[in-house]
Amino acid sequence: MQAMNYAFGGLGSVPFPPDVQEHLAGLDARTDDGGARHAEARDSALSLSSISLSFGGVVALTDIDISVRKGEIRAIIGPNGAGKSSLINVISGVYRPDRGHVRIGKNRYQQVPTQKLARLGIARTFQNLALFKGLSVLDNVVAGRAYTVRSTFLGQIAGLGRARREEADARDRAGRILDFLHLGHVSGRLAGTLPYGLQKRVELARALVAEPDILLLDEPMAGMTATEKNEMAGFVRAARDQYGTTVVLIEHDIGVVMGLSDRIAVLDYGRKIADGTPEEIRADQRVIDAYLGVASENEDGEGI
């Protein structure tokens, strides 16, 4: 806008009164900020706007705004009960927010259609293992391609041409993902017989074989040893780098999050209290207070 003068008849340019100039400057700032928001929306794979959610009288989320850029690893952290898993469940359509919307690419939803999640380019893992433990590792990963099946049930039973081609393609893709995650040597093992850390990696493989644009990881390293966490972090980073997958990560291990993420949003009691790079989050006093508590003083005035 930048128009601080106005024409009045033949008197030429006359300055606006100070209060009008201040108002116009405010409009300029809002216009510039709005343009930045629109530009970020265009570059976003996923964005949440004013998400609020409650269960009865219990408020889980309040006015959450988060954007996820294409190809980034975006972490959401916070103390227990902060609302992290609720937010993932809103993104994946398990919960319908009381207010706000989710934008996936160019599509905007008040409630994401869970049954179309794979077709929207989203895959997720779960906080608790959700493998078919009586099936082989390979069959578990092949299950991640179920949404691509076009052959009829009878065609699959009879092993007709289209069904055979789909199965062969699914097994080929599953085999390549297993090799990528260093699981090829256990592809024939029953999933339930593997150590816990490898089972978590199989679940990641099942999500990746769907070739998602956005991968939602709900505490993928929970219960792992330090070595297993480092390995998993490496695979998550490699999936982003090799396949261009956008990653939204919930994780309690702050060390892992700081080393893996491009940007981090911090929740506390259902509200977003900080959002930025790992360096910015590490230095944010609100985050320190939320995780460690505010240092109090004893009667002598000494910090405890």
Q: 142-191: per-residue pLDDT in tens? A: 988 876 655 444 445 545 566 677 788 889 999 999 999 999 999 999 99
Q: Is 43 a residue whose pLDDT tops 80?
A: no
**What pLDDT, on the 0 to 100 scale, is given for residue 300?**
42
pLDDT tens, 7-31? 333 334 444 455 444 444 444 444 4
**What pLDDT, on the 0 to 100 scale, is given for residue 16?**
43
**What pLDDT, on the 0 to 100 scale, is given for residue 157?**
55
pLDDT class of 234 with cuts at 50, 70, 90: very high
Q: Which residues contact 186 (CB under 8 A, 6 or more apart)?
A: 137, 194, 198
| Whether the Cβ atoms of residue 228 and residue 244 lie closer than 8 Å to each other | no
Query: Residue 102 belongs to what H/E stretch?
Result: strand 99-104
Q: Is 42 a residue whose pLDDT tops 80?
A: no
**What pLDDT, on the 0 to 100 scale, is given for residue 130?**
82
**What pLDDT, on the 0 to 100 scale, is given for residue 31?**
42
Cα 96 to Cα 53, 169, 277, distances in angstroms: 8, 35, 29
| Whether the Cβ atoms of residue 251 and residue 257 lie closer than 8 Å to each other | yes
The pLDDT of 126-137, averaged and rounded, is: 90
* Alpha carbon distance 26, 147 (integer Å): 50
* Alpha carbon distance 41, 55 (integer Å): 29
Q: Which residues contact 35 (CB under 8 A, 6 or more apart)?
A: none
* Alpha carbon distance 245, 121 (integer Å): 10
Q: Single out the residue of 231, 210, 252 nearest to residue 80, CA to CA.
A: 252
**What pLDDT, on the 0 to 100 scale, is given for residue 146?**
77
Cα 139 to Cα 129, 135, 231, 265, 293, distances in angstroms: 16, 6, 23, 36, 46
**What pLDDT, on the 0 to 100 scale, is given for residue 15?**
47
Please report which residue ranges of the chain form alpha helices under DSSP H.
18-43, 84-91, 137-142, 153-158, 161-180, 196-208, 226-243, 254-260, 278-282, 285-292
Token pair 């644009």 in the structure block, residue: 213
Strand order in the sheet with 44-55: 58-69, 44-55, 99-104, 107-109
Residue type, 115: Q
Of the chain, the end-to-end C-alpha distance in Å amounts to: 54
* Alpha carbon distance 90, 93 (integer Å): 5
pLDDT tens, 240-296? 999 999 999 999 888 899 999 999 999 999 999 999 999 999 999 999 888 765 443
pLDDT tens, 177-232? 999 999 999 999 999 999 999 999 999 999 999 999 999 999 999 899 999 999 99
CA torsion 128-131-133-136 (nearest 10°) is -150
Cα 268 to Cα 11, 26, 81, distances in angstroms: 59, 31, 8
